[in-house]
């Protein structure tokens, strides 16, 4: 796999405490979809701070197309699992098109946003 095509997404989020169980159910449903996506998903993890409702979501994909495909695949879960959450900070890194970066920036307006396009 060409490391230059890999894309990553890191999101620091806060979940409304009343939706914590729903968030965990949604995350379990996402993991089932991730398994079906095979080698296109390199990592899809969520870490939470004990005793809080703050989480870090870390995702890695073979390429931008794989990430966009994943987002389409999980879209129906948004209706089924209505979770009140806030994206505090979103970071993208890798070979993203300008169009995708702009879409993420617009979708997360009001959140801290960073895009890292140069791999050292």
For the chain, which residues make up each domain, given as ranges?
Answer: 3-116
CATH of domain 3-116: 3.30.70.100
**What's the confidence (pLDDT) of residue 98?**
95
- Give the global pTM: 0.92
* Measured CA angle at 96 (ends 9, 13), to 5 deg: 20
CB atoms within 10 A of CB 5: 14
pLDDT tens across 33-72, in order? Answer: 999 999 999 999 999 999 999 999 999 999 999 999 999 9
């Amino acid at each position: 796999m060409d490391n230059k095509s890999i894309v990553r997404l890191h999101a620091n989020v806060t979940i409304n405490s009343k939706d914590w169980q729903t968030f965990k159910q949604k995350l379990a449903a996402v993991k089932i979809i991730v398994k079906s996506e095979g080698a296109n998903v390199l990592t899809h993890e969520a870490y939470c701070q004990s005793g809080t409702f703050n989480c870090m979501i870390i995702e890695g994909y073979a390429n931008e197309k794989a990430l966009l495909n994943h987002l389409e695949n999980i879209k129906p879960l948004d209706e089924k699992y209505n979770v009140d959450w806030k994206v505090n900070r979103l970071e993208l890194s890798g070979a993203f098109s300008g169009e995708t970066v702009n879409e993420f920036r617009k979708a997360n307006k009001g959140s801290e946003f960073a895009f890292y396009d140069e791999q050292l």
